[in-house]
Amino acid sequence: MVISLIGYRACGKSSVAPRLAGRLGWSWVDCDRAIEQRAGVTVRQIFESSGEAEFRRLESEVLAELLRGSETVIATGGGAVLLPENRERLRAAGPVVWLHASAATLTKRLSREHAAAGRPSLTGRPVHVEVAEVLAVREPLYRQTATLTVHSDGESADQVARRIFRHLSDELPRDRSH
């Protein structure tokens, strides 16, 4: 079984994944970091040199490989749900948890972390405008793909991981639940 965390960037996927994996005794993978390892360059560099289409191709390839694993928590990229085949693979591999955060929370986090995290702008627009525009496209896809929605506004990564663990405990093998 694989548990995938989906949601807009800065919703907490990369912070929650290792904490949830620790509770489960599983491994975890950040899909964007796996893409960077495969490509030998950063996500920003892929966007700048090859464009979003090439990044999405690599993302889909890496995600398909990761989803074939077992006992793994995957922190997906924010746009992983854009391709129908990714949405299908995510749901087929196990529970898909949408970490939902408000546009205001996401804007605040992205404004604070934008330069430090090396996150490429998706639209070239101011952060608050970009968040609103991109969420308008992606939220229906997150909703369609998720088997569980967990709100991550105002909670620590540990609190969110605990909540996910409690919600999914019935789906987990009994010897793993603790």
- Cβ-contact 15, 150 below 8 angstroms: no
The β-bridge relationship of strands 148-151 and 72-75 is unpaired
In a domain, 175, yes or no: no
pLDDT beyond 60 at 84:
yes
Burial class (CB in 10 A: 0-12, 13-18, 19+), 11: buried
Amino acid present at 136: A
Pick from 74, 116, 112: nearest CA to 94: 74
If you average pLDDT over residues 45-54, what whole number do you get? Answer: 91
Range with lowest mean pLDDT among 43-47, 147-151, 155-159: 43-47
Half-sphere exposure of 134 (CA within 13 A, CB side): 23
In a domain, 178, yes or no: no
If you average pLDDT over residues 147-175, what whole number do you get? Answer: 89
In a domain, 92, yes or no: yes
In a domain, 174, yes or no: no
pLDDT beyond 70 at 75:
yes
Q: Supply the CATH number for residue 52's domain.
A: 3.40.50.300
In a domain, 173, yes or no: no
pLDDT beyond 60 at 178:
no
7 falls in which pLDDT band (50, 70, 90)?
Answer: very high
Position 111 scores a pLDDT of: 82
CA–CA separation, 96 and 119 (whole Å): 24
CA–CA separation, 81 and 85 (whole Å): 9
CA–CA separation, 6 and 80 (whole Å): 8
Segments forming the whole domain that contains residue 85:
2-168
CA–CA separation, 63 and 49 (whole Å): 21
In a domain, 121, yes or no: yes
In a domain, 91, yes or no: yes
Position 176 scores a pLDDT of: 46
In a domain, 131, yes or no: yes
If you average pLDDT over residues 121-141, what whole number do you get? Answer: 87
- Tally of domains within the chain: 1
